[in-house]
Structure 1
Amino acid sequence: MVASNRTGGPRVAVVTGGSAGIGLATARHFARHGWSVAILARDARRLDEAAAMLAREGAAVLAIPADVADAEAIEAATDRIERELGPIRAWINNAMTTIVSPADRITPEEFRRVTETTYLGAVHGTLAALRRMKPRDRGVIVQVSSGLAIRAAPLQAPYCGAKFALSGFTDSLRAELIHEKSAVALSVVYLPAVNTPQFGWTRTRTGHGQRAPDPVFDPRLCAEAIYHAATRPSREIWVGRTSVLMAAAQALWPSYADRKAAEGWDAMVEKEPLPDRRGNLDAPVASGAIIDGAARERTKATRSEFWTSRERDALVFGLAGAALLGSALAVRALSKPLRLLPRP
């Protein structure tokens, strides 16, 4: 069955970085719910394999080889998607690259490449979607972000910087849409460590492989949260307890969060030495269309561990209301005249 929008046509979702890991899990989740799905990634062979997997779910699928760092390529892909599948209802910015290395050993070119993919790639996708959604006054754009956009970690300065930049861009754009009274929605999904193949594809310069620090979560949990953001938009969603704890620590005690992040250095690299690798920063790594990485034995099985900003706001308002009520009762009690007991 193909899910329809209120105009009667199929609902169309676009997922960048959709040929593996979280992107592929998300695309499959949309396909299983009857959406038409377009997936964008650099590796044409892996895209074809991913498209075949999605087609088995009964979905209309369009796979387009494109580098999100190329704004013109994304614009052309967006035109093709709307021409072949229909109006885009949800756009998921998921594509990313990173390098694991001390910051002073990362070249300017590497900083630029991570930024072009992880930050500007999301900007290009957002603007391409927005140019179609705003005239229709309908649609949702989901930024797939990270707990590292709230509390940065060592060894990933370019990636953390790109994700922080994405938060600023999204908040600015959200304010513009509110000013324009636009019905287009923006949502940011903050992810924890997730068991994806990316940990084996990352460029490294530490003498060790990259390790997903515990706790590690299932890509399908992320897909659930992203789908929730696309179908029931909320400002933000935090996936996994780690993201919530990082946000709380950074807000309440940032100097403590600095020290904890520094202690996490060793947790982010494998113990055994491994020659530095080029990874997928400049070009895709040869691999099939796979969702899971190598940390299956450490992966949490939960499929429901995520929280929305609506739940946070309800909690804050509830606590604030309780505090105000308590204050009012205290003032009332203190305002009553003191009754002295008569002497015996």
Structure 2
Amino acid sequence: MPQTVVITGASAGVGRATARLFARRGANIALLARGRAGLEAAAEEVAAAGGRALVLPTDVAHHQEVEKAAELTEAEFGPIDVWINVAFTSVFAPFAEIGPEEFQRVTDVAYLGYVNGTRAALARMVPRDRGAVVQVGSALGERSIPLQSAYCGAKHAVNGFTSSVRTELLHDGSRVRITVVQLPAVNTPQFSWVRSRLPKHPQPVPPIYQPEVVARTIGYAADHPGRKQYYVGASTVATLWANRFVPAALDRYLARTGYSSQQTDSPPPVAGPGNLWQPLDERPGEDHGAHGAFDESATGRSPQAALARHPALAAGAGALAGAAVLRWSRARRTGG
């Protein structure tokens, strides 16, 4: 029997790449996002790769729409096996320049959208005592950076929420599993889509990875959801270790470099409202695919992500990374 998979944010970026991956497995895939042009194009790719697609225009910030999408998915494909939460939006700006309505909107999509998706999934999986929920998180959910306060806050909230739900499932002896895939900087259309008040074009903080690198880890996490989380990219691991051992030094480093590293030398995107309130792939011809504007500087491989699929090797690599951070910290303190 083919798997039934729900992917939010499936019209572009990581969600789009993940839909392609599950399509190659022959899965039945419910594609959720706001932009119909992106969804229709994603559905064509799913069919071409050997899967079956169901297009469900959905704003994940509204729990009624998410619940309806879950109902339609099971009516079309049968029980949901895997639910993958990816959808988000953001605002690139200092906190003081983000309005209350904008901050709430980011929170409603990037945090409560995950809550809504998880609720709809568990309402169906728990009674059957099977299924997996994969939360697509970020290194920024453990180590915040400037200019992304709303997004970082939402990703921190996703981590806390997911840990709570995980312990409840364990308490109940449920065989339903929930896991998180923590992302590095990824080359997706978001950096041309999101609302920005920066003087230059936003960019992911290098090193930059292609969305297919993330999709491979999401696919593995869906197959092996018993682990608490998966890290993608050596930069993610290094950032989290640095935040654990030298957080004050990392604060100062990000204060010094965090503004410039998130902007290119190019002018900002064409003036407009961004995709905060309305999708930018709504009409025919507006599909943007999985990749953003940084193909030339993005890598399609991550040795660390491959290691993450082998726990013993990953533990050894993490210990080495931690030792390197400690040596760096001691050298800073001693002036060596």
TM-score, normalised by the number of residues in structure 2: 0.88
Measured in 1, the distance between the counterparts of 2:4 and 2:126 equals 16
1:116 partner SS = helix
Measured in 1, the distance between the counterparts of 2:54 and 2:163 equals 30
Gaps of 5+ in 1: 5-9, 320-344
Q: Is the 8 A contact 1:145 1:189 kept in 2?
A: yes
Q: For residues 178-220 of structure 1, give each alpha carbon's deviation from its aligned partner in whole angstroms, at most 9, with x where no partner exists.
A: 1001111111001011111111101001222211221110100
1:271 to 257, 265, 269: 265
Q: Is the 8 A contact 1:137 1:182 kept in 2?
A: yes
Amino acid at match of 2:234: R
Number of aligned residue pairs: give it. 311
Matched, 1:65 2:60: no
* Aligned residue number for residue 234 of structure 2: 241
* Aligned residue number for residue 282 of structure 1: 277
Measured in 2, the distance between the counterparts of 1:70 and 1:217 equals 31
Gaps of 5+ in 2: 321-336
| Aligned-pair CA distance for 1:304 | 4.8
* Aligned residue number for residue 9 of structure 2: 17
Matched, 1:42 2:34: yes
Amino acid at match of 1:299: A
Q: Is the 8 A contact 2:28 2:51 kept in 1?
A: yes
| Aligned-pair CA distance for 1:314 | 4.8
Measured in 1, the distance between the counterparts of 2:303 and 2:135 equals 19
Q: Is the 8 A contact 1:47 1:289 kept in 2?
A: no
Matched, 1:225 2:217: yes
Structure 1 stretch displaced more, 269-278 or 118-127: 269-278
Q: CA RMSD in A?
A: 1.9
C-alpha distance 314-304 of structure 1, shift in aligned 2 (>3 A): closer
| Aligned-pair CA distance for 1:164 | 0.2
Q: For residues 232-272 of structure 1, give each alpha carbon's deviation from its aligned partner in whole angstroms, at most 9, with x where no partner exists.
A: 12211000111101110111111112122222220101223
Structure 1 stretch displaced more, 119-128 or 283-292: 283-292
Q: For residues 155-198 of structure 1, give each alpha carbon's deviation from its aligned partner in whole angstroms, at most 9, with x where no partner exists.
A: 00000000000100000101100100111111100101111111
Q: For residues 34-59 of structure 1, give each alpha carbon's deviation from its aligned partner in whole angstroms, at most 9, with x where no partner exists.
A: 21111100012221121111111121
Structure 1 stretch displaced more, 122-131 or 231-240: 231-240
C-alpha distance 240-23 of structure 1, shift in aligned 2 (>3 A): same
Q: Is the 8 A contact 1:207 1:273 kept in 2?
A: yes
Matched, 1:295 2:294: yes
* Aligned residue number for residue 157 of structure 2: 165
Q: Is the 8 A contact 2:233 2:302 kept in 1?
A: no
1:271 partner SS = coil
Measured in 2, the distance between the counterparts of 1:92 and 1:226 equals 8
Equivalences for residues 103-142 of structure 1 within 5 A: 103-142=95-134
Amino acid at match of 1:154: P
| Aligned-pair CA distance for 1:95 | 0.1
| Aligned-pair CA distance for 1:305 | 3.4
Structure 1 stretch displaced more, 307-316 or 218-227: 307-316
Structure 1 stretch displaced more, 266-275 or 141-150: 266-275
* % same residue: 42
Matched, 1:82 2:74: yes
Equivalences for residues 175-186 of structure 1 within 5 A: 175-186=167-178
1:210 partner SS = coil
Amino acid at match of 2:241: A
Measured in 1, the distance between the counterparts of 2:135 and 2:295 equals 26
Matched, 1:195 2:190: no
Measured in 1, the distance between the counterparts of 2:37 and 2:278 equals 13
| Aligned-pair CA distance for 1:146 | 0.6
Measured in 1, the distance between the counterparts of 2:104 and 2:7 equals 23
2:246 to 241, 247, 253: 253
Larger Rg over CA atoms: 1
